[in-house]
Amino acid sequence: MSAIHDFKDLKIWQKGMEIAEKCYFLTKLFPKDELYGMVQQIRRAAASIPANIAEGYGRRSTPEYIRFLNIAQGSINELQTHILL
């Protein structure tokens, strides 16, 4: 097992980045009239996942880290809803 030196070493952050990258790629295929609607909402929710994981890790406090993981989970739920629409 390798040591964690910063947030980029976290597997959960890496998975969040994969999701965000895939969402950005896939939304490029959406119709142009969705650029400021669904595309923007999907991208924002997807980017929020790894961003909140990183921010929580950077707080160096377990309660704060958990709080930001919960926010990331909320963004996952939001993203799932947009995908299901």
| Domain annotation for the chain: domains and CATH numbers | 9-84 (1.20.1440.60)
* Residues 24, 48: Cα–Cα separation, whole Å: 13
Q: Which residues of 42-60 are buried (b: 16+ CB within 10 A; e: fewer)?
A: bbebbbbbbbbbbbbbeee
**What confidence score (pLDDT) does residue 1 get?**
57
Backbone phi, psi, residue 31, to 5°: -60, 150
Contact 17, 25 (CB under 8 A): no
- pLDDT tens for each residue of 33-85: 888 899 999 999 999 999 999 999 999 999 999 999 999 999 999 999 999 98
pLDDT at 29 over 90: yes
Contact 72, 52 (CB under 8 A): yes
